[in-house]
Amino acid sequence: MMTKVAASSARPADPCCLIIFGASGDLTHRLLVPALYNLAASGLLPDAFALIGVARSPSSSEAFRDDLAKSLPKFATRDIDERVVKKLLAYVRYVQGEPDDESTYAQIGQELACIERERSTNGNRLFYLATPPAGFAPIGCHLGQSGLAREQNGAWRRLVVEKPFGTDLASARALNQKLLGILKEDQIFRIDHYLGKETVQNILVLRFANGLFEPIWNRHHIEHVQITVAESLTVGRRGSYYDATGALRDMVPNHLFQLLSLIAMEPPSRFAADAVRAEKAQVLNAVQLQNDAEALRNSVRAQYQDGYVENRPVEAYRKTKDVNPQSTTETYVALRLLIDNWRWAGVPFYLRTGKALRAKQTEVAIKFRQAPIAMFRETPVERLAENFLVIGIQPNECIGLKFNAKIPGPSIAIGGVGMTFNYEDYFETPPSTGYETLIYDCMIGDAILFPRADGIEAGWSVVQPFLDAWRDAGAKGLAAYRAGSDGPAEADQLLARDGHHWRPIA
């Protein structure tokens, strides 16, 4: 009988006031407040906590508090305990204002002065930009000019920036420059919600807390790596955002590159924010940059057509509301990347992500080289199982190893078998939004899970040649796939060229 391990106990976060810009939006209601609730329920929110919502729409502090209390049960991941809600929403204020208007910041300043007198939040302020990206730089500048984000008398002031962080290399650089002109790097927390996932955080532990994997984690033993972030969801109601963005910008420089860098980075000297982030940026900087022709040859972009996903009919992407009927925006992307360092030279990293695919499945699959099979000449190579280490990120949270075993019987026959570790068999974790650890880490000032400016720019540098090559190619080269399938045939050919094939999307 296995004993389950409960989540470890941590100290409550520092006293602070959380100021959410974009407070009337979806993110606040759907994720941030439920995550704060879970932190409060686990005893991780400080007693001295206050919340200021900032948004354009007219409202009052009472109405905002009622609105949060009403929407919480709808999005909560756990049963609601009214005592916890009361504690969480004990001190809520609302500031109505334009993000570009100085007077908004004067009002926020007044509320903060009042809170800091009455609530003992020690002057600690966490500014959270849950607004559309156009708001990031102007809000950052106003926070700087108004002095609200200036650290003094031992109080910390931090800024949380949601994605997308830029839309290309130039805009990401410009945003970093703006923010770093106002705040120090250690005050800026750039959110990538993939780093809030336990299974993603576990990649570092798997690699570096075990002596078992690291000696074979290199080009001598690994043949190739597949990173899959398949979604069964369609673009849905996000047509106007998505049509201007596409799968590459939406998913690759952020989520897929977080997975890639955790898998491929060198061991950091310490488990500390700067050491880890330096190695992650370093490996992204080692990804081979491609010229136009290489970028086209090593990428596949495609759009979904009519089909059925999980037995539901799905209309083609171009028929989606707010999507241009002639759109050439990709809803699927596959890339073949190489990393130019001694560990990975010559080992292809295949990345794919797309909407309206057969199933939701995020995994990293590491394919080991074939054993020299001289001993088993009788068994054709194709019949040997491939050695894969599969890290299931979601929805199957697991780690599995595929290898060969002797099929019982008088003769030597070989068959593929597997061993799997399922998180749920070992650990008891209450359902969460995925934002709990991230918000908590902002409150305690631990930046390990937050990409640094150099990491963000390294990611966009890799993506930029693809953006440029696709822009120049226009509709030429845009492939198609049936909704509910595993993706376009062209993506299979990308691997077939190297003699490899994708693992099926389950």
Applying CB under 6 A, the residues found at the interface with ligand BG6 are: 163, 231, 233, 250, 362
Q: How far is the CB of 194 from ligand BG6 (least distance, A)?
A: 7
Please check whether residue 363 is in contact with residue 228, taking contact to mean a CB–CB distance below 8 angstroms: yes
Least Cβ distance, residue 236 to ligand BG6 (angstroms): 9
Alpha helix (H) ranges present in 95-245? Answer: 102-118, 136-146, 169-180, 198-208, 239-243
Instruction: Look at residue 490 and give its three-state secondary structure.
Output: helix
Residue 443, Cβ density class (10 Å: 0-12 exposed, 13-18 middle, ≥19 buried): buried
Q: Give 299 or 331: the residue with its C-beta nearer to ligand BG6.
A: 331
Closest by alpha carbon to 131, among 22, 50, 8?
A: 22
Spell out the residues 6+ positions from residue 505 whose beta carbon is closer than 8 angstroms to its own. Answer: 228, 230, 357, 358, 359, 361, 486, 487
Token readout for 407 is 């099929």
Task: Return d(Cα 99, Cα 19) in angstroms, integer.
Answer: 13
- Which one from 142, 193, 224, 255 is the annotated catalytic residue? 255
Q: Least separation, in Å, of the C-beta of 34 and ligand BG6?
A: 15
User: Could you tell me which residues come within 8 angstroms of residue 32 by beta carbon, excluding any fewer than 6 positions away?
Assistant: 20, 128, 130, 435, 439
Taking the C-alpha atoms of residue 17 and residue 94, their distance in angstroms, rounded to an integer, is 13
State which residue, 157 or 193, has the beta carbon closest to ligand BG6. Answer: 193
Q: Positive or negative, the Cα torsion across 57, 93, 95, 51?
A: negative
Q: How far is the CB of 252 from ligand BG6 (least distance, A)?
A: 11
Nearer to ligand BG6, 93 or 163 (CB): 163
Residue closer to ligand BG6 by CB (options 143, 256) is 256
Nearer to ligand BG6, 258 or 362 (CB): 362
The CB-of-273 to ligand BG6 minimum distance in angstroms stands at 22
Two structure tokens written together for 441: 């880490």
Annotated catalytic residue 221: no
Which residues are within 8 A (CB) of 52 and not within 5 positions of it... i.e. 6 or more apart? 17, 18, 19, 20, 92, 93, 94, 95, 108, 111, 112, 115
In this complex, which beta carbon is closest to ligand BG6, that of residue 225 or of residue 259? 259
What is the closest distance, in whole angstroms, from the C-beta atom of residue 231 to ligand BG6 in the complex? 6
- Catalytically active residues are 255
